[in-house]
Amino acid sequence: GTGCLVKAVETAAQREAFIVGKPNRFMFDCVASEFDVDPGRTIMVGDRLDTDILMGNDCHLTTLLTLTGVTTLDEVRGHQDSDCPARHRLVPDYYVDSIADLLQVL
């Protein structure tokens, strides 16, 4: 949601910004370099496909989409049924209606 602000700063500074937020894996790499993070035992939980789930998939994490945000299950199915490899990167491993649903399995 801050793309227009970033573009304004880039124009004023006459430099291209280096984005470190999701879906860029920079922050994950920083955390993984400081702590013993095993991607095979780590789950990315989020409510957006284009930031949370994409970053999790790009970092080889298990991904869990919670449907309490902006993403719908129909949107996930559209990506899943697509022939486009880039859209497949937006498909979570799991989904729940609400993060509260996890309490039952914990």
Q: pLDDT (tens digit, 0 to 9) for every residue of the chain, 106 residues total?
A: 678 898 999 999 999 998 888 999 998 999 999 999 999 999 999 999 999 999 999 999 999 999 998 999 999 999 999 999 999 999 999 999 998 998 887 7
| pLDDT of amino acid 69 | 84
| pLDDT of amino acid 3 | 80
The model's pTM is 0.85
Residue 8 DSSP label: H
| pLDDT of amino acid 1 | 65
| pLDDT of amino acid 51 | 94
Q: How far apart are CA 55 and CA 52, in angstroms?
A: 5
Q: Under DSSP, is residue 94 helix (H, G, I), strand (E, B) or coil?
A: strand
At the topology level, CATH places domain 2-104 in: Rossmann fold (3.40.50)
Helices (H) and strands (E) in the chain, counts: 5, 3
Residue 65 DSSP label: E
| pLDDT of amino acid 19 | 82
Question: Which residues have CB under 8 Å from 74's CB, separation 6+?
Answer: none
| pLDDT of amino acid 80 | 96
